[in-house]
């Protein structure tokens, strides 16, 4: 490796040797710029410089080696100054690798490749890495472009995020060759991704099924990734997840499989209470201040000692509404009500029996008829499409 000149080293690192062009820059300068643009694209997508190490894929390792070499070239600093807005050339590498000290096998290992024992061409093997790597990189990374009709998809992302927070969806670790279908939601690279379109399926050279996707990301971009590239990215991403589909009746029967969850209640009650507290704000807005709770037992038993419990504002309460439901889940129900009415949650701090300040939860300044409508929307499964508008005191889509 130490005997390679600069052009040969650039070729070894996967920067293609372009034919001589008339005017402008020299072929060498063009190669340096092209190689650095790959690194900039990586930085833009991952918000960091490429790193060495086994955790990164082949392309990240290749870019890391390339960046180390560019940092050593004085001419690269001058040539790339206008492009290097993130300051990658001046940033010290975390764990630099001296490629000049590596033989061919070691460099291939650093890039995550191996040499065919039957091929004795030494560094010539590495020179053939670039064309194949470029094709794979184009499929694995698939340059993203702005999604011109993102306004059509944004409500889907907002709804999926609400359903995830409310417990109506789950983020499930992605398993290997699991299916990818139109309408699926995933979390890949820390972003929500939605499969808007799935093209006609075809077989790869290894007779594996594949298809071209139109993948929309939550940040308003899209790509035309191949299905197998998405599967590979999800598998390699330690945090890659599939979002489960919400059931048509989200709070009735277990959502994910046949096994009941620890917080499931076979038959339960959503109850609404009104406080008889003499606190100034509560007494002045008594018809609007309500506590919404869920219990699997008798409501009367829950509130029997209300005047001694800070969660009930240390005052008696009256039951103003009860709704009987089957196979509901306490946590999901609480999440739904807190999402809907979080903006009008009662902001009140009182002292408990021991003089400790307590801020009771589950009390909201909201009319009873709105709570009644919310429960109806929970029953018909449309609650995730709605939010509460405090200005009009209505649920709106």
For 108-159, write each residue's pLDDT tens digit.
444 444 444 444 444 333 333 444 444 444 444 446 788 999 998 888 888 8
In a domain, 248, yes or no: no
In a domain, 308, yes or no: yes
Name the range with the highest mean pLDDT among 66-80, 139-153, 235-249. Answer: 66-80
Mark whether 121 and 175 lie in a shared domain: no
Mark whether 202 and 96 lie in a shared domain: no
Mark whether 305 and 331 lie in a shared domain: yes
Mark whether 286 and 343 lie in a shared domain: yes
Mark whether 121 and 16 lie in a shared domain: yes
Q: How far is CA 132 from CA 29, 126, 135, in A?
A: 23, 11, 5
Q: What is the mean pLDDT of the chain?
A: 75
In a domain, 1, yes or no: no
Mark whether 12 and 107 lie in a shared domain: yes
Residue 6, pLDDT score: 56
Name the range with the highest mean pLDDT among 230-234, 243-247, 278-282. Answer: 278-282
pLDDT digits (tens, 9 = 90+) for 361-396: 789 999 999 999 998 888 777 887 788 998 999 998
Q: Residue 275 — very low, low, confident or very high, per pLDDT cuts 50/70/90?
A: very high
Which of 309, 354, 313, 362 shows the shortest CA–CA distance to 333? 362
What span, in angstroms and rounded, lies between the C-alpha atoms of 350 and 279? 10
Last residue of a domain, one of 141, 165, 185: 141
Residue 232, pLDDT score: 84
Last residue of a domain, one of 141, 164, 193: 141
SS3 assignment, position 309: coil
User: What share of the chain has pLDDT > 70, as a percent?
Assistant: 72
Mark whether 153 and 215 lie in a shared domain: yes
Mark whether 115 and 163 lie in a shared domain: no
Residue 302, pLDDT score: 83
Buried b vs exposed e over 134-159: b needs ≥16 C-beta within 10 Å? Answer: eeebebbbbebeebeebeebeebbeb
Mark whether 275 and 381 lie in a shared domain: yes
In a domain, 258, yes or no: no
Residue 23, pLDDT score: 46
What span, in angstroms and rounded, lies between the C-alpha atoms of 13 and 244? 41
User: What share of the chain has pLDDT > 90, as a percent?
Assistant: 12
| Res. 250: pLDDT tops 80 | no
Residue 287, pLDDT score: 92
Give the total number of structural domains in the chain. Answer: 3
- In terms of residue numbers, what domain contains 219? 145-243
| Res. 242: pLDDT tops 90 | no
Q: Which is more confident, 328 or 356?
A: 356
Pairing of strands 145-146, 221-223: antiparallel
Mark whether 174 and 232 lie in a shared domain: yes
Q: How many CB atoms lie within 10 A of CB 323?
A: 18
Residue 260, pLDDT score: 42
Residue 119, pLDDT score: 40
Q: Which is more confident, 368 or 57?
A: 368
Mark whether 221 and 299 lie in a shared domain: no
| Res. 43: pLDDT tops 90 | no
pLDDT digits (tens, 9 = 90+) for 174-226: 876 677 888 889 988 888 999 988 888 787 766 778 888 999 998 889 988 88
Mark whether 113 and 19 lie in a shared domain: yes
In a domain, 253, yes or no: no
Last residue of a domain, one of 208, 243, 278: 243
In a domain, 339, yes or no: yes
Residue 272, pLDDT score: 94
The alpha carbon of 296 is separated from its chain's Cα centroid by a whole number of angstroms, namely 34
């Amino acid at each position: 490796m130490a005997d390679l000149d600069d052009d040969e080293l650039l070729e070894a690192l996967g920067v293609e040797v372009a034919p001589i062009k008339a005017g402008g820059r020299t072929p060498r300068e063009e190669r340096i710029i092209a190689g650095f643009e790959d690194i900039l694209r990586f930085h833009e997508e991952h918000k960091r410089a490429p790193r060495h190490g086994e955790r990164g894929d082949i392309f990240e390792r290749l870019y890391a080696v390339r960046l180390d070499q560019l940092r050593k070239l004085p001419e690269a600093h001058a040539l790339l100054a206008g492009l290097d807005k993130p300051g990658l050339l001046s940033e010290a590498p975390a764990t630099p690798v001296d490629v000049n000290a590596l033989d061919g096998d070691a460099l291939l290992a650093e890039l995550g490749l191996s040499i065919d024992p039957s091929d004795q061409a030494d560094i010539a093997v590495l020179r053939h890495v670039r064309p194949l790597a470029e094709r794979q990189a184009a499929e694995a990374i698939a340059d993203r472009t702005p999604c011109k009709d993102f306004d059509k998809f944004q409500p889907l992302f907002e709804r999926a995020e609400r359903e995830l927070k409310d417990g109506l969806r789950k983020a499930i670790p992605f398993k290997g060759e699991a299916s990818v279908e139109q309408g699926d939601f995933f979390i890949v690279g820390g972003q929500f991704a939605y499969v808007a379109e799935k093209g006609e399926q075809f077989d790869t050279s290894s007779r594996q099924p594949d298809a071209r996707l139109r993948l929309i990301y939550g940040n308003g971009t899209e790509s035309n990734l191949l299905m197998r590239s998405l599967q590979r990215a999800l598998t390699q991403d330690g945090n890659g997840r599939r979002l489960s589909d919400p059931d048509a009746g989200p709070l009735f029967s277990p959502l994910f499989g046949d096994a009941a969850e620890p917080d499931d209640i076979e038959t339960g009650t959503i109850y609404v209470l009104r406080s008889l507290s003499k606190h100034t704000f509560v007494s002045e807005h008594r018809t609007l201040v309500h506590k919404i709770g869920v219990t699997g037992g008798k409501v009367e038993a829950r509130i029997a000692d209300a005047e001694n419990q800070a969660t009930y504002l240390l005052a008696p309460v009256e039951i103003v509404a009860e709704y009987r439901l089957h196979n509901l889940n306490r946590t999901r129900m609480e999440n739904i009500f807190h999402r809907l009415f979080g903006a009008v949650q009662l902001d009140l701090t009182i002292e408990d029996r021991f003089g400790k300040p307590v801020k009771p939860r589950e009390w909201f300044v909201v009319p009873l008829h709105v709570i009644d409508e919310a429960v109806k929307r929970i029953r018909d499964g449309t609650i995730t499409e709605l939010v509460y508008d405090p200005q009009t005191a209505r649920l709106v889509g």
